[in-house]
Amino acid sequence: MSAAIRILGLDPGLARMGWGVIALAGTRLTHIGHGVITTRTADGLGLRLLALHRAVAAVIVELKPDAIAVEQAFVAKDPGAALKLGHARAIALLAAAQAGLEIAEYAPNHIKKSVVGVGHAQKEQVQAMVRRLLPTCSVEQSDAADALACAIAHAHLSGTRARMLAALA
């Protein structure tokens, strides 16, 4: 059996950024950790982005992921909200690039379909499936559950890619 790889999933947001780390060994998924990074609106954009960067970088240093999976921005009707989400995503990508991690990005519908089987699943359904796929995980926050789901989607896709490469070799 190959060595386990660790995948950090991120659900970007300026006020709340969910993160979750799993290990993939063969087809077995193991929960490593999860949480939510929060920022204060009163701090202003620059300080909030700095706080996100420091926190994501600290998670990377502490949990040592081999790859990162980031949820792509869902195009919102509010341009201001979309721009803030874009800033948060940039921080996630920057921290991963600084750490030399492989970066993958997935659309929200792809993540939901990979984990729940339905591209338009509700947040409660995603949380329930994350708990089922990671039995030792007791995730309660939807942002952290979404981040773990992103990591699981990457694990499923990377496993499929590895099997295809092995079959072609």
78 is catalytic: no
11 is catalytic: yes
The one catalytic residue in 71, 102, 105, 124 is 71
Report how far residue 110's alpha carbon sits from residue 166's, in angstroms, rounded to the nearest whole number. 24
The one catalytic residue in 43, 66, 78, 143 is 143
Q: Are 65 and 4 within 8 A, CB to CB?
A: no
143 is catalytic: yes
Report how far residue 119's alpha carbon sits from residue 160's, in angstroms, rounded to the nearest whole number. 19
Report how far residue 27's alpha carbon sits from residue 116's, in angstroms, rounded to the nearest whole number. 17
Residues annotated catalytic, as ranges: 11, 71, 143
